[in-house]
Amino acid sequence: MVRRLERNELNNALPLIWNVFCEYEAVNYPKSGEQAFWNAIHSEEYLDMLTAYGAFDGGRLIGIIATRNAGSHIALFFVDGKHHRQGIGRSLWNKVLAETEADVITVNSSLFAQEIYRSLGFIETDDVQTEDGIKYVPMCYKR
């Protein structure tokens, strides 16, 4: 089941986000990038900007996608590794498409997720960028 998360539920999703980040993405980041990501996801100001949706299995959160800017930018997208390749990410993405009216949706994809975003219809808009130690590829999806 995929549904919108209340703000307090987003705080409860932070361990999932951090664990998946550490397992799949942090390997491409220096310590400064890891710290910058930690700081972002623990910033109340940052979290308050997000609209988040969670995927649940028996009441347990197994995936999350969060957007900002009225749904036009994906800020967070993480699925528990035990649930990869089971359609959870696509279900989360479909929920965003159903809930936003944005014609163009952007993301700063991690190197790990670049192929995943391509499979969802995103295309690269620039080469690899690095900001605060975080490497990403700017991508966009056009309806």
**125, amino acid identity:** T
Residue boundaries of the structural domains of the chain: 2-101
Tokens of 105: 């949706």
Confidence (pTM): 0.94
User: Degrees (nearest 5) of the Cα angle 2, 69, 86?
Assistant: 25
Q: Tell me the pLDDT tens digit for each residue of 74-101.
A: 999 999 999 999 999 999 999 999 999 9
> Going by DSSP bridges, is the β-strand pair 104-109/73-79 parallel, antiparallel, or unpaired?
parallel
Q: Tell me the pLDDT tens digit for each residue of 121-132.
A: 999 999 999 988
Residue 52's alpha-carbon distances to 2, 35, 111, 125, in angstroms, are 10, 22, 22, 24
What is the CATH number assigned to the segment(s) 2-101? 3.40.630.30
Gap between the terminal Cα atoms of the chain: 24
